[in-house]
Structure 1
Amino acid sequence: MIQVNNVTKTFEGFKALDGLTMKVERGSIYGLVGPNGAGKSTILRHITGVYRPDSGSVLVDGQSVYENPAVKAKIAVIPDELYYFASASTRDMMKFYRGLYPRFDDKRYQALKEAFPEVDEKQPIRRLSKGMQKQSAFWLALCCEPDLLVLDEPVDGLDPVMRRQVWSLLMGDVAQRGTTVLVSSHNLRELEDVCDHVGILSHGKVLLERSLTDLQDNIVKLQAAFAQSEPPQLPRDMNILHTSQVGRVYTYIVRGNPAEIKSRMAAYSPILLEVLPLSLEEIFIYELGGEDYGVRDIIL
């Protein structure tokens, strides 16, 4: 669906994107994570055709998106800072969107009133709270029935109940229509339950890009206790990323196949051996190591 190839972008001597490469598969929910200034909003503006890259290419459905109205008609965007016409209401913007998007669904617009009951469609959007403005934005974007939905810090300002409602609607579109969702956030915890692929940005580059399944199948957290006072000397090829101790219990973070690692550890006859799930934050911390303190700040 999206292929970004070695894209660079410089603003007045500052290199916002530095050879960034990423790929988003059709029908996936891809989380783009990074600290402030990592280049998240800049690459989103390239993918939506706002910016032209200095070098490299940005393709959506195999076509360059910049100055390509046919491709842009398949993309809906909810930016971090929302923009509406002065004094426009949600209903006014619905009429505007209906003229822009060939697949705008009037029936769905009426149906989604129940999903966003607190939004007064006749009231000027600028008079709504931040949370209400975000609800209005989702209401309109979902009615466009896009092939690609691009979200920049999408649920800021929404209460927990409405966040769940919005993610439920998005995942429903992914499952039923094959919508591709690209969501940027500085908060990895926000994405853990909804994304199937994650890319982490730092200094204009993608440091790590994997499916959550691959991440979770390649690193394991073990807790073990041994009869002897000192733990056994584990072989170097076990690729231990981190070791900690609380009393007699040792915690190991190990890269590799979980079943194989547990089997190898069992050979040392521990009196306690337990495999624990790792959060996505922990996986990134140990995968990245000391690569970038800015990245570590967003996931610790």
Structure 2
Amino acid sequence: MIKVNDVSKKFHEIQALDSVTTSIQEGHIFGLLGSNGAGKSTFLRILSGVLKPDSGTVFIDEMPVFENPKAKSEICFLADTAYFLPNATPAVMRDYYAELYEKFDKEEFNHLAEKFHIDMKRRITTLSKGMKKQLSVLLGTCTKTKYLFCDETFDGLDPVMRQAVKSLFASEVMEREFTPVIASHNLRELEDICDHVGLLHQGGILFMKDLEEMKFHIHKVQCVLNNSLDEEEVLKELDVLQTEKRGSLLTIVARGTSMEILDCIESRKPLFAEVLPLSLEEIFISETEVAGYGITDFLY
């Protein structure tokens, strides 16, 4: 388990992190969302023990992470721009990682490299951005560390490779003790893989929630009611996050189960009513607007 308590970090006049307190449960795929400059990379580097916070504490499995080799042995951090040895090939990086990480699985790396069509003898400098990203992910996964921190993992990957990496992470979670933390500025990249999500904004955690619980307790309904009085009563009774009116069609995003929301509307004998699916992006927009932020201003 990862525990972060009141962590702050400042670079000259820039407050990268401001009193961040949170925890990340093990055995889940955690998505860390935020725009560029929100503090995601700094947060991951502090979790990895690469950076020391100005204040606050970070514990990995109840061990302080900074300058602690035992804690760091359970962590692999994949930066947005991966580092490779000069003139190295994938085979050279495989052997290098095997020296650094005691549990590195060379056999699995060779197997995955073949599946991902990575030429083990080709110089990495000649690979495309997407191929370098794939190689970085395979190296990180094969370290067999308990925690894998990924900064913009899917950036540069085509749709097929994104899905392949997601499947790889899901398989690892099911087969061993494995907790990937994936930082991204793109909601759509994380929607179909993460169990839990958190939003980092202006150096602070805006909220952290279970994704399925969020989807279960927030719904969007379109309806046509008989008159404006019915509309006013429905909006008063429901825990409304957003509303939109186009002609006679009223769209409501509200907290509650779909049955609770529909029962409230159906009691007014509407001309029409149906529940619509909500995307992760729509859920986050609703939650952040309630918290006083316009997510569309800093996430896309």
The TM-score normalised by the length of structure 2 is 0.94
Deviation by residue 1:17-72 (Cα, 9 ceiling, x = unmatched): 10011211111011000111111000000001101111111111111111111221
Q: Which amino acid aligns with 1:86?
A: P
Give the aligned residue type for 1:202.
H
Structure 1 residue 298, shift from structure 2 partner: 4.5
The equivalent of 1:292 in structure 2 is 293
**Contact 2:35/2:299 (8 A) holds in 1:** no
The one-letter amino acid paired with 2:106 is: D
The farther-off stretch of 11-20 and 239-248 is: 239-248
CA contact (8 A) 1:284 1:299 kept: no
Secondary structure of 2:214 counterpart: helix
CA drift of 1:231 comes to: 4.7
Is contact 1:187-1:298 (8 Å) kept? no
- Superposed displacement of residue 299, structure 1: 4.2
The separation in 2 between residues aligned to 1:286 and 1:157, in whole angstroms, is 29
Structure 1 residue 242 displacement after superposition: 2.0
Runs of 4+ in 1 over 6 A off after TM superposition: none
Which residue number in structure 1 is paired with residue 149 of structure 2?
A: 150
The amino acid across from 2:25 in the alignment is E
Other-structure match for 1:281: 281
**Residues of 1 paired with 2:219 and 2:277: CA distance?**
7
Moved more, 24-33 or 216-225: 216-225
Give deviations 1:63-117, integer Å, cap 9, x for gaps.
Answer: 1111111221211222101111111111111111111111111221222133211
Residue of structure 2 equivalent to 1:58: 58
Residue 96 of structure 1 corresponds to 96
Aligned to 2:200: 201
Structure 1: which 5+ runs fail to align? Answer: none
User: What is the match of residue 264 of structure 1?
Assistant: 264
- Name the CA distance, whole Å, in 2 between partners of 1:21 and 1:115: 40
In structure 1, the residue matched to 2:254 is 254
The within-5 A match list for 1:1-300 is 1-117=1-117, 119-228=118-227, 231-234=230-233, 236-289=236-289, 291-293=292-294, 295-299=295-299
Which deviates more, 223-232 or 282-291?
223-232
- Separation in structure 1 between the aligned mates of residue 230 and residue 245 of structure 2, nearest angstrom: 10
CA distance in 2, matches of 1:292, 1:251: 21
How far apart are 1:230 and its partner, in Å?
A: 6.8
* C-alpha displacement of 1:228: 4.5
CA distance in 2, matches of 1:209, 1:256: 18
Identity of aligned residues (%): 42
CA distance in 2, matches of 1:115, 1:77: 23
Assess, with a 3 A threshold, how the Cα gap between structure 1 residues 232 and 161 changes in structure 2: closer, same or farther: closer
Q: Supply the distance in 2 between the matched residues of 1:289 and 1:229 (Cα, whole angstroms).
A: 25
Q: Please tell me whether the aligned partners of residues 40 and 183 of structure 2 are also in contact (alpha carbons under 8 angstroms).
A: yes
Instruction: Let me know the Cα RMSD of the aligned residues.
Output: 1.6
Aligned-partner Cα distance in 2 for 1:278–1:137: 33
Q: CA deviation at 1:292?
A: 3.0
CA distance in 2, matches of 1:192, 1:43: 21
Shift of 1:179: 0.8
Tell me how far apart the structure 2 counterparts of residues 285 and 241 of structure 1 sit (CA, whole Å).
10
The one-letter code matched in structure 2 to 1:245 is: K
Aligned 8 A contact 2:33 2:187 in 1? yes
8 Å Cα contact 2:113-2:119 kept in structure 1: no
Contact 2:30–2:180 (Cα < 8 Å) also in 1: yes
Corresponding residue SS for 2:51: coil
Does the 8 Å CA contact 2:230/2:268 hold for their aligned counterparts? no
